Structure 1
Amino acid sequence: MSSTSPSTPRLADALIARAEALIQTGQRRLLGIAGAPGTGKSTVAQLLAEALGPRAVVVPMDGYHLANRELARLGRAERKGAPDTFDVAGYAALLQRLKKPVEGEIVYAPFFKREIEEPIANAIPVLAEVPLVISEGNYLLLDQHPWNQVAPLFDECWYVEVNADVRRSRLVERHVRFGRSPEAAKAWVESIDEPNARLVEQYKDRANVQVPWD
């Protein structure tokens, strides 16, 4: 892992070792990192990928956000981020494809660009020889249709937890950073992010590991 300063979060050695153990067979493994909005899932995934180097790649669930124009057509734009604002079948199909890599083939996964609030297709190349695919997202552990087709595709799932006040503060800061006023950011967190967080938390006991995060 790259060197860290005192203010840089650090992933526990035990978690890195657990991920290492997953790929000891040399076969492709899928690791899910779930958690409520704002818990630090993407940070955990990125730190783990940095620790494993070329043996891991991160493919976020957020790449399967429905496009803004489709959310508008469906009347769901004001609930963006809720479970029914994703292409769940498309995400599951990608995971199924990633589970069975074909020698010499590159699978291209989408990426969600917050600056424009839109997914970008074919942005993440996943080479067949990479043994660990890490996918992070809110709803990986949900046991309700259509999300219930996702959890069984992972070889292991972790659940990231953080203090609720810290999590809400992070979310407000994120929304402000990407263009909302402080008032609008707080309103969005309370009306959209918090109901989603309560739903996600109901399924945390389905995870193989619970990861406390600062």
Structure 2
Amino acid sequence: MDYVDELAARARALATAAGPRRVLGIAGPPGAGKSTLAEAVVEALGGLAALVPMDGFHLADAELARLGRADRKGAPDTFDAYGYAALLARLRTPRSGETVYAPSFERELEQPLAGALPVSPETPLIVTEGNYLLLDEEPWSTAVRPLLDEVWWVAVDDTVRVERLIARHIAFGKSPSAARAWVLRSDEANADRVAAGRERADVVVDVDTGTVTVTSTTTTPSAR
């Protein structure tokens, strides 16, 4: 991923800019490679960045069953969007000596895990990734998007993306037929729902071509 160096430099400029802590979002459809890119950027920045994924705010299976949404797990209303926004707001204003513990999502359990990701108050950049960071629906557009200084969109060939999703579901316990059925019914419905977010991104990362396109007129802050 040669383009990671370019993106890491952009993220580093955010991390080292004068002023308050910044929050960088990475969005895209399911299976686009958001997590892989986010992890690579955070690793490249060393201690300058911490990764806090949106997936930690999945509702637990018991609550999804109570709400009648278990068969749509992964849809926008199967996340605690307001809880996610509250955490982002807290992360934007770190307090000296206070470590923030964010939730993660355990793929083996298919459940959120509270208090799994410690974020030091000294870390200048938060990187967060998820499907719905650019969704033009409340509460995502009104409660989440304003808390993100910049959002990147990850684009990849749909055939590659779908096969990647199917392989992921198989790896975590679904049969091949059940995995394909879930992806084509649920994951692809979510992919269609978020597709327009590409037009609202500050940066578009085309994984197939390895190109990075800056679409926003907002420039990355100058480093200290």
Match of 1:6 in 2: none
d(CA) in 2 for partners of 1:66, 1:81: 9
d(CA) in 2 for partners of 1:42, 1:173: 16
What residue identity is the alignment partner of 2:38?
A: A
The 8 Å contact of residues 11 and 47 in structure 1, kept in 2 or not, is answered as no
Shift of 1:25: 2.4
Match of 1:154 in 2: 148
Describe how 1:18-57 pairs up with structure 2 within 5 A.
18-26=10-18, 27-57=20-50
Q: Given the alignment, which residue of 37, 57, 60 partners 1:64?
A: 57
d(CA) in 1 for partners of 2:17, 2:52: 21
Matched, 1:82 2:75: yes
d(CA) in 2 for partners of 1:11, 1:115: 30
Normalised TM-score (structure 1): 0.94
Match of 2:128 in 1: 135
Q: Which moved more, 1:18-27 or 1:33-42?
A: 18-27
Match of 1:3 in 2: none
Query: Which deviations, in whole Å up to 9, do the C-alpha atoms of 1:11-33 show, x marking residues without a partner?
Result: 43221111111122253110000
Q: Secondary structure at the match of 1:203?
A: helix
Query: Which deviations, in whole Å up to 9, do the C-alpha atoms of 1:40-80 show, x marking residues without a partner?
Result: 00000000011000111100000000000000000000000
* RMSD of equivalent CA atoms: 1.0
Q: Secondary structure at the match of 2:154?
A: strand
Describe how 1:1-214 pairs up with structure 2 within 5 A.
9-26=1-18, 27-148=20-141, 149-214=143-208
Consecutive unaligned residues of structure 1, counting only runs of 5 or more, are 1-8
Shift of 1:10: 4.7
d(CA) in 2 for partners of 1:153, 1:160: 19
Q: Which moved more, 1:140-149 or 1:92-101?
A: 140-149
d(CA) in 1 for partners of 2:84, 2:145: 11
Q: Secondary structure at the match of 1:103?
A: coil
Q: Secondary structure at the match of 2:16?
A: coil
The 8 Å contact of residues 28 and 131 in structure 2, kept in 1 or not, is answered as yes
The 8 Å contact of residues 16 and 124 in structure 2, kept in 1 or not, is answered as no
Match of 2:220 in 1: none
d(CA) in 2 for partners of 1:188, 1:132: 35
Count of residues paired in the alignment: 206
Match of 1:4 in 2: none
